[in-house]
Structure 1
């Protein structure tokens, strides 16, 4: 006799945008029975050809599986899609980008309707889904027993990182990391603007920028975390705040000479000056964090 293959967990997926479609294809390729729904039904046609079962409504799709994954535009669209669905006994995993407060409210909303809830923050773009070497992963927060039960299935599209019972923490981690990314992009774009009018090849300049940011970011970020945890903001400081603020006029003058607006970097420089005015010249830059926290 031949042993029966291990049955894969059925999945319902609501939302077939670029990310939803990428998620769907990975579950199908891994052999998971998949029911799909999208507000525009035509988007499901390609997946149906790959083995997905289309549902005529979101409520019908939810009824098809215990594990229901939602990947829609925003929190409002989640509420609208699930308004008529019976969530009793369902395991709801919401991968829609929301705020932490929205995630916590949605978790309570799901609990009141008889469902267990996990919130997710996807740290990847669609081409990274189903490609382990690309490094994409998803933050999850909420019911720990739910995460443990479905971890293997959730890990099919991308890696999983559980960040706690508070349903808002996945969204918070997601937005925090993305905010750091945009801050980095601001500095990068300012750097390219400085050389824009010069006889400097931006293609040749790019790896210099990559190497510099890579060398600076890791140690600095690690030190910031340690200093915030210990409260010793002057510990192991190499370039103190007083010295760095003294260099600000050079950065602003260079931008002026190059005809570049300083609007991407001036706000940070102003925070540095404010922190120095508090008598924190021997610190590094970590104290700026507390200037940003309201009430501090």
Structure 2
């Protein structure tokens, strides 16, 4: 008589650094875990950890009620979905692959056409931290579907649901990542100026880190102004700020530090002032950012 394996079952497709970490997290938590990877040897190494290895993506999807896709990009997701075809019927697909909101919505449409449910997700964290609160995950898709897979998704880290539009997790992720890059490139420009002028970049950064705490309240205030379209002089009026920008640009030029970003800000200020809004603050330039 064969014993029934009553462990929760899950499939993970894609055995890169993140996919492997996801599979290991489920194995460590007692899930009956099936894995597949286009390059077979990357999947085979998971066998020693207790994973079930299958030969095709279709077999992998068929093996579990829920399949997590963690692939290089959405082109790879599309290739896998094409190979899975009707094997997806009755299954739930959760993509944890980076991509655009439009791609997430297209994946959701594909799933619906093939009788499958779909939740899109994005991971904010590093593979070694999977399964801890140091990793946060954004999800979107039909609430009923999300709630069905929520217990399994919580095994991976802290999660937040962004509503039924499958593209909204990608909006959240891309916006968070873009904000990081915008901030960090500004930081690098500033360090270049500081070092050129003979200051210690590390000592400056210690002082900067202390002052950054004050930006949280400013950001919330600016978001409120944008939502209400009521723009007060948040950092001072644009008339005054524009004069300061001229000083900042001249300083960078004299030090031989690149000025493209500062000139972009000054250009937006000048445009907004020319529209008759010089008494408004920095947040009012939001009105100029839509193409």
- State the TM-score, normalizing by the size of structure 1: 0.91
1:123-173 per-residue CA deviation (whole Å, 9 max, x = no partner) reads: 2232332221x2x21111111111111111101111111111111111111
Task: Give the CA deviation at 1:231.
Answer: 1.7
Residue among 246, 253, 259 paired with 1:256: 253
CA distance in 2, matches of 1:138, 1:156: 11
Change (3 A) 1:258 1:286: same
Query: Partner of 2:103 in structure 1?
Result: 102
Change (3 A) 1:40 1:214: farther
Indicate conservation of the 8 Å contact 1:190/1:264, yes or no.
no
Task: Give the CA deviation at 1:198.
Answer: 4.1
Indicate conservation of the 8 Å contact 1:233/1:287, yes or no.
yes
CA distance in 1, matches of 2:265, 2:46: 47
1:232-287 per-residue CA deviation (whole Å, 9 max, x = no partner) reads: 112x7352222211100111111112110112332223222222221222222122
1:27-66 pair list within 5 angstroms: 27-66=26-65
Task: Give the CA deviation at 1:28.
Answer: 1.3
Query: Partner of 1:3 in structure 2?
Result: none
Indicate conservation of the 8 Å contact 1:10/1:34, yes or no.
yes
SS at structure 1 position matched to 2:288? helix
Residue among 204, 229, 246 paired with 2:243: 246
CA distance in 1, matches of 2:205, 2:45: 39
Indicate conservation of the 8 Å contact 1:16/1:38, yes or no.
yes
Task: Give the CA deviation at 1:204.
Answer: 2.0
Indicate conservation of the 8 Å contact 2:222/2:234, yes or no.
no
Change (3 A) 1:143 1:239: same
SS at structure 2 position matched to 1:183? helix
Task: Give the CA deviation at 1:8.
Answer: 4.6
1:8-50 per-residue CA deviation (whole Å, 9 max, x = no partner) reads: 5311011111111221221111111111111112222332211
Query: Partner of 1:67 in structure 2?
Result: 66
Aligned residue pair count: 285
Q: Does residue 91 of structure 2 align to residue 90 of structure 1?
A: yes
CA distance in 2, matches of 1:204, 1:58: 53
- State the TM-score, normalizing by the size of structure 2: 0.92
CA distance in 2, matches of 1:55, 1:269: 58
Indicate conservation of the 8 Å contact 2:234/2:282, yes or no.
no
Task: Give the CA deviation at 1:94.
Answer: 1.0
Query: Partner of 2:169 in structure 1?
Result: 170
1:73-117 per-residue CA deviation (whole Å, 9 max, x = no partner) reads: 222211111223211001011111111111111111110000011
1:98-247 pair list within 5 angstroms: 98-132=99-133, 134=134, 136-216=135-215, 218-234=216-232, 237-247=234-244
Q: Does residue 254 of structure 2 align to residue 266 of structure 1?
A: no
The gaps in structure 1 that reach 5 residues or longer are: 1-5
